[in-house]
Structure 1
Amino acid sequence: MKYPPIFQVATADPGVTALLGANPTRLYLFGMAPEKPAGTYCVWQIINGAPDNYLAGRPDVESHALQVDVYAASASEARAAGQALEYAIELSASISSYNGEDRDTETGLYRYSFSVDWIVRR
């Protein structure tokens, strides 16, 4: 399996790094975020995917669905970072859904969530 290059795409965009930082960029694979990240941050995970199978020959691409969740101290900060990520990603993949917004009761952080469909060449 080849993973979608979300980190490379996001860190190449100045709008994203302005909101999520540049060194380090606070964009984490699920379960890899620090316990209490400083500032606005994002986590992503693959929620499903499959190779594009053919009757003859090996698949040359894989389709992945990703869930992206942005967390911030305010709703406006979460939305701004989420929209910057969407803007950066949509030239390489498709934003497939908006998954809602809420506020985490344990941390008090605001969450902005969306899904991405990404086709990756093997």
Structure 2
Amino acid sequence: MIAPVFSVCAASPAVTALLGTDPLRLYPFGLQDDAVVYPYVVWQNISGSPENYLAQRPDVDSFTLQVDAYANTVDEVLAVAAALRDAIEPHARITRWGDQTRDNDTRRYRYSFDVDWIVPR
């Protein structure tokens, strides 16, 4: 019922070099609720469904995730997005490069993208 984005990214030395290991600053449900340390990443399901069959229970689930990286500088957010891309692409498909913005209040940079992931049960 959940894509293995955390375990895949936690296994990537490039991701952990940028997002740390204790904790890995990769948060589910689109929420970062710890003390804010940049860079960090949030992700959330934006859609999904089981692969339904007439003769048996589903054997895979499909998910579309939104991934948002936040960082202090443009170079840093681009490095995080590239590390995530390289970690995720062997396992799933990136389907959208999204917004690249700067938050008016925090003055931090954001890079967003979507991932389609098929997960065997």
- Deviation (angstroms), 1:93: 0.7
What is the DSSP-based 3-state SS (H/G/I as helix, E as strand, rest coil) of the residue aligned with 1:23?
coil
Q: Please provide the CA RMSD for this pair.
A: 1.2
Match of 2:17 in 1: 18
1:103: Cα distance to partner? 0.6
What is the identity percentage for the equivalent residue pairs of Structure 1 and Structure 2?
51
Query: Which stretch shifts more, 30-39 or 12-21?
Result: 30-39
1:52 & 1:98 partners in 2: Cα distance? 26
Amino acid at match of 2:93: S
Q: Distance in 2 between matches of 1:32 and 1:113?
A: 14
Q: How far apart are the structure 1 equivalents of 2:35 and 2:100?
A: 20
Amino acid at match of 1:15: A
Q: Look up the equivalent residue of 2:42 and give its one-letter code.
A: V
1:53-78 CA-partner distances (Å, limit 9, x unpaired)? 11211110010000000000111111
Q: TM-score, normalised by structure 1?
A: 0.94
- Stretches of structure 2 that go unaligned for 5 or more consecutive residues are none
Task: Confirm whether residue 55 of structure 1 aligns to residue 74 of structure 2.
Answer: no
5+ long unaligned stretches in structure 1: none
Output the amino acid matched with 1:28: Y
Structure 1 runs of 4+ aligned residues shifted over 4 Å read: none
**Equivalent in the alignment of 1:96:** 95
Aligned residues: 121
* Greater shift in the superposed pair: 26-35 or 69-78: 26-35
